[in-house]
Amino acid sequence: MSGSAQALDLMQRWLLAAQVQGKSPKTIEAYQRDVSGFLGFLNRYHGGDVGLSALGAVGVRDMRAWMADARGRGLSARSLARALSAVKGFYGWLLEMEGIENAAVPSMRGPRVKPNLPRPVAAGDAREMLAQVDIQHQEPWVAARDTAVILLLYGCGMRISEALGLNRAAAPLPEVLRIIGKGNKERILPVLPVARAGVEAYLKACPHDLADDGPLFIGVRGKRLGARAIQKLMEGLRGQLGLPATATPHALRHSFATHLLEAGGDLRTIQELLGHASLSSTQIYTSLDQTRLMEIYNSSHPAAKP
């Protein structure tokens, strides 16, 4: 087996281990793309096969050259930081499973990435959207369905995949719902009475017989409702209400977190409700809240006025 083939075989074994650990298919795909790119660069940079010994000998100069090459090809700082994280994960596995020690890779610092602040829908706009959902479709049961989905996204902070992944057996929705979210992680969500009522109204209006082990939300052809239908719904609402393109289904999840924080909710509770593994993922909403406070301060404080 050539050195390159050996390196690729190691990468495939690492990806399999990540899959067994419950990493999502999209994460596995990103890992493969990033580490394959890194291995391909090493082959080009050194002008030959890169096997076990070469992987262990990768130094700071190699890493800097790879990062410079990636940036030169137009890779964003955020994407490069993600790729570096994948390469570090691969090397962590190599150390644990193959005993390949390397000090340069784990010590490399990625480019500074300015965090993307989420762009929630304002509370007033969210209420207006909810008021307009049921007139977006001529079929009353479809309008009731869409209203129920939007209520779950905004009222419970569900991801669209989580809401549309619910089965009929989940209804009538309890006051507290257990769902399996990203990374197969279970979390508990309180369900607002208005959201429970929305789902019940949809079920009463729905003309289809829904099997307990089948989808809760269906399309007009009786199949599980796809995310694109809700995305199109939001596009229509944006146009009618003059909202920006950032007002997407996922923005309603951001709105859920932001509006809870503005109302005095504590960060740890919001972390649990969102299903974030790390508190740092939730703290971005604190930055958003502070940004909003500064905007109000700068526009309202007497000293800020000319």
Our answer to whether residue 159 is catalytic in this structure is yes
Catalytic residue among 137, 168, 182, 292: 182
Q: Would you tell me the crossing angle of helices 249-262 and 284-300 to the nearest 10 degrees?
A: 70
Our answer to whether residue 259 is catalytic in this structure is no
In order along its 306 residues, the chain shows pLDDT tens digits of 565 678 888 999 999 998 888 888 888 999 999 999 999 999 888 877 777 788 888 999 999 999 999 999 988 888 999 999 999 999 999 999 988 889 899 999 888 776 555 577 777 788 888 888 988 888 999 999 999 999 998 888 888 988 999 999 999 998 888 887 676 777 777 888 888 999 999 999 999 999 999 999 999 889 999 999 999 999 999 888 888 887 888 888 777 777 666 655 555 555 555 554 454 444 454 454 555 444 543 544 344 444
Catalytic residue among 168, 224, 250, 292: 250
Our answer to whether residue 276 is catalytic in this structure is yes
| 134, burial (CB in 10 Å: exposed 0-12, middle 13-18, buried 19+) | middle
Q: Which CATH architecture has domain 123-252?
A: Orthogonal Bundle (1.10)
Amino acid at 306: P
Catalytic residue among 23, 145, 159, 196: 159
Ramachandran area for residue 117 (φ above 0: left; ψ -120 to 50: alpha; else beta): beta
Give the rounded distance of the alpha carbon of 264 from its chain centre.
24
pLDDT at residue 115, as a whole number? 59
Our answer to whether residue 46 is catalytic in this structure is no
Domain boundaries, the chain: 3-107, 123-252
Nearest to 163 by CA among 222, 216, 117: 216
Catalytic residue among 238, 253, 254, 259: 253
Q: What span, in angstroms and rounded, lies between the C-alpha atoms of 37 and 179? A: 36
Q: Per DSSP, what are the bridge partners of residue 215?
A: 167
Instruction: Identify the CATH assignment for 3-107 out of 1.20.1250.20, 2.60.120.650, 1.10.150.130, 1.10.760.10.
Output: 1.10.150.130
Our answer to whether residue 26 is catalytic in this structure is no
Catalytic residue among 285, 292, 301, 305: 285
Non-local (6+) Cβ contacts of 170 within 8 A are 177, 216
